[in-house]
Structures are given as structure tokens and as C-alpha cells.
């Protein structure tokens, strides 16, 4: 059974009945905690889940900061335990499925990444079905479900009809290949479940996500985006790996991603289905030039970031035209805007020294 901690002071039960209520899974994470904050700022009552509510190192930003913004309840739930999300989803108008198993270095992705991800997605979907109140489920997936496939030449534009080629992924085994397969299969299983049970499901496929979050631990995409400033070679290798696998470095600001998820939940006329969330398509070289010009104190060496394997211009673009056609507008559509708050965030987390 899920154990909850009480909401912040002043959140009267009467007001809870008047508020729209949303569940956000994995609320102590990078994307989820930003989404929780946005929903609270919009006046929602929010129910979120974490694996261990007593772990204050991971949850203090939820308890001490976000609960002060509004009605927030924190529930214990385990992705691998069927029914553990029932209490958190009960009575909710919307459910945002953000939490997912991540095991990028597993030697056995089938049993340690792929199967747990699919199982976790269906566990939470079953809880949404049991609730009987959820108007729309919004599943956070990944752009890697779209574009990991052999593409020759330049000028490719991929949309929601595109799927990563799992035969190619299995054969080539690019970095985090088990994660790619897990996301593709969990999307498809979520669709199947939603269609069988009449659930309205929107799936958001975000690209490299950059921006400040309430979370106190730097997400992989933040470390990658700051790698040429921080000197983190492993994170820079991840950024280069994205470019090699995607044919570009597509980027979105965290705030725009959260806005898109709330938009798709609240907009009843928005069609169910997949939505790419990407505002800028760039390359490692273009990011290096931008950072070298904008943040001169870090002395970014463009030559070191411009080896022969890197692209001058994107070969592939992930189109967000479907999302925009529904009426969504991105607020952060340049590298300058996207990097606006992540520099200070990196300093706060200790990823940048000055």
C-alpha cells in the first residue's frame, strides 16, 4: 500500500475538492519536479510518487520547497509493484507518467531495462484505469524512439510516424540501446492498453532537455549541455553520441517541455497520440561556437570540439509541427534562450565552478 505524507500547511480539504488534481510519477526527478512545480503554480492539487519518501537527500526539494507552493501529497510507490500507484492516481483528473527505470550500463538490458520499463508503464496505466477519473494520461517517452535508424544523406525531417528501427538498434547496439528498445516497446504497449480500455493517451517524445529544475541532482542532459564548459569528458561523449545517433543535437528547454505536457493534458481537442517536443535542431560544433562566444570566461576550445566526426549542420530534424498545429507555442527557440538559466543551475549543483 502506498504511504503518503501530508500536504503543506494551509491546504484545506475543502480547497482540494475545488482544485483540478494531477498525479506526477517520480516527483523527485529532473523533469517531474519541474512539472510538479508548474502544476502547483497553476493552482492544481498535486499527488506525486517517489520510491522512498523518507529519503530526504532525494526528496527535500519536494517537502521543503514545493509543498510550500500549494497542495502537494507525496506517496510511496514502486514501478515494479502492480497496484502501488493506485492511491496516488485515485481521484486525479490527469496523470503524468514521468518515472521510468533507467539502467544504461546493464549487461543484460532485456531483463534489467526493457522488461522493467514495459512492466512499469503498464502498472501505472492499470492504476489510471482503476481510478476511473483520469481524463488524459500523458506519458513521457523519448525522442530516441523516433530517429535511431540508418539514414543516408542530409535534409531528413522525421515526425511522429517515424519509429526507430529495432532490428538496426539490436544489431548495431549504439550507446544505451536497451533504453531505446525499452522506450519503443513501452510506447506501443501503452497505446495498446489505452485503446483496449478507452483511455485518452498522449505520448510526449522530448529531445535533449536543458534548463533549471527544482531537482538537486544534475540530470544527464544537463551535464551533457554543460560539458564543454565543465570539462566533463564523459558528458561530452554523451553529447557527441546523441549527434551521431540522431544526425543532430535536437534541444528543448525544460520549461517548454513541461508546458507542452500540461497543454496536451488540458487541451481536450488535442488528438491522442505521439508528440515530438523539440524547439532547436543544432550540432555539437554549433553549440561550441555559441558557448565560446557567449561565455568567454570558460575558454571553450572550438577546435577540440570540431573533430572530423562531428557535423557542421544537422542532417536530421525532428519536427514538432504536430504539437504546434494543436496550438502550442515554444517560448525558448534559440540556444541563447535555452541556455539562459542552466548556467546558474549548473553552478548551484556544483557542475560549474564559476
**What stretch of H or E contains 50?**
strand 45-50
CB 313 within 8 A of CB 234: no
Long-range contacts from 348-351, C-beta under 8 angstroms, 24+ separation: 349/216, 349/217, 349/218, 349/222, 351/218, 351/222, 351/223, 351/226, 351/230, 351/232
Distance CA 138, CA 155 (A): 30
Residue position matching grid coordinates 550500463: 105
Strand bridging mode 201-206 / 94-97: unpaired
Distance of CA 11 to the CA centre of its chain: 28
Tally of CB atoms within 10 A around 306: 16
Ordered structural domains, the chain, with CATH? 21-217+251-279+317-332 (3.40.50.720)
CA angle, 229 then 232 then 236, to 5° = 85
**pLDDT at site 12:** 36
CA distance 333 to 208: 14
pLDDT at 304: 55
Q: At what angle do helices 254-266 and 30-41 cross, to 10 degrees?
A: 60
**Whole-angstrom Cα distance, residue 299 to residue 10?**
49
In the three-class reduction of DSSP (H, G, I as helix; E, B as strand; rest coil), residue 184 is classed as helix
Sheet holding 4-5, edge to edge: 4-5, 72-76, 45-50, 21-24, 94-97, 136-140, 201-206, 273-277
| CB 55 within 8 Å of CB 33 | no
In 54-172, beta strands by DSSP E: 72-76, 94-97, 136-140, 156-158
Whether the Cβ atoms of residue 249 and residue 243 lie closer than 8 Å to each other:
yes
Beta bridge partners of 22: 46, 94
What pLDDT was estimated at residue 218?
A: 84
Model confidence over 97-117: pLDDT tens digits? 999 888 766 678 888 889 999
Tens-place pLDDT, residues 313-331 = 999 999 999 999 999 999 9
Q: What is the pLDDT of residue 354?
A: 67
Enumerate residues 6+ apart whose C-beta is below 8 A from 299: none
Distance of alpha carbon 117 from alpha carbon 202, whole angstroms: 18
The set of residues, in sequence order, having a beta carbon less than 8 Å from that of 74 and lying 6+ positions away, is: 4, 5, 27, 48, 49, 50, 53, 59, 62, 63, 67
Give the Cβ contact number of residue 184 at 10 Å.
Answer: 24
**Count of other CB atoms within 10 angstroms of residue 322:** 17
Mean pLDDT (10-residue bins), the chain, 354 residues: 39 52 96 97 96 85 87 94 96 96 76 91 97 98 95 93 95 88 97 98 98 92 95 93 95 98 97 97 96 92 66 96 98 97 94 79
Amino acid at each position: 500500500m502506498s504511504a503518503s505524507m501530508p500536504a503543506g500547511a494551509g491546504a484545506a480539504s475543502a480547497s482540494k475538492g475545488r482544485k483540478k488534481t494531477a498525479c506526477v510519477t517520480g516527483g523527485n526527478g529532473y523533469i517531474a519536479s519541474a512539472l510538479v512545480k508548474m502544476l502547483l503554480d497553476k493552482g492544481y492539487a498535486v499527488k506525486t510518487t517517489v520510491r522512498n519518501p523518507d529519503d530526504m537527500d532525494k526528496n527535500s526539494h519536494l517537502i521543503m520547497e514545493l509543498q510550500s507552493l500549494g497542495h502537494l501529497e507525496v506517496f510511496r510507490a514502486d514501478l515494479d509493484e502492480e497496484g502501488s500507484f493506485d492511491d496516488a492516481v485515485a481521484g486525479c483528473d490527469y496523470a503524468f507518467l514521468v518515472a521510468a527505470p533507467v539502467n544504461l550500463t546493464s549487461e543484460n538490458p532485456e531483463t534489467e531495462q526493457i522488461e522493467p520499463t514495459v512492466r512499469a508503464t503498464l502498472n501505472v496505466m492499470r492504476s489510471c484505469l482503476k481510478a476511473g477519473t483520469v481524463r488524459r494520461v500523458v506519458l513521457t517517452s523519448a525522442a530516441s524512439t523516433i530517429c535511431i535508424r540508418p539514414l543516408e544523406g542530409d535534409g531528413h525531417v522525421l515526425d511522429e510516424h517515424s519509429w526507430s528501427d529495432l532490428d538496426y538498434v539490436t544489431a548495431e547496439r549504439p550507446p544505451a540501446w536497451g533504453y531505446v528498445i525499452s522506450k519503443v516497446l513501452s510506447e506501443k504497449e501503452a497505446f495498446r492498453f489505452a485503446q483496449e480500455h478507452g483511455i485518452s493517451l498522449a505520448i510526449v517524445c522530448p529531445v535533449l532537455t536543458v534548463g533549471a529544475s527544482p531537482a538537486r541532482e544534475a540530470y544527464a542532459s544537463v551535464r551533457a549541455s554543460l560539458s564543454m564548459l565543465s570539462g566533463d569528458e564523459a558528458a561530452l561523449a554523451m553529447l557527441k553520441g546523441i549527434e551521431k545517433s540522431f544526425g543532430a543535437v535536437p534541444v528543448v528547454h525544460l520549461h517548454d517541455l513541461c508546458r507542452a505536457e500540461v497543454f496536451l493534458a488540458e487541451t481536450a481537442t488535442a488528438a491522442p497520440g505521439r508528440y515530438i517536443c523539440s524547439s532547436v535542431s543544432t550540432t555539437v560544433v554549433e553549440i561550441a561556437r555559441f558557448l565560446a562566444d557567449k561565455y568567454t570566461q570558460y575558454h571553450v576550445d572550438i577546435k577540440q570540439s570540431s573533430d572530423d566526426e562531428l557535423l557542421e549542420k544537422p542532417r536530421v530534424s525532428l519536427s514538432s509541427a504536430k504539437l504546434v498545429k494543436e496550438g502550442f507555442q515554444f517560448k525558448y527557440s534559440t540556444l541563447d534562450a535555452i541556455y539562459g538559466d542552466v548556467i546558474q543551475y549548473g553552478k548551484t549543483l556544483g557542475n560549474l565552478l564559476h
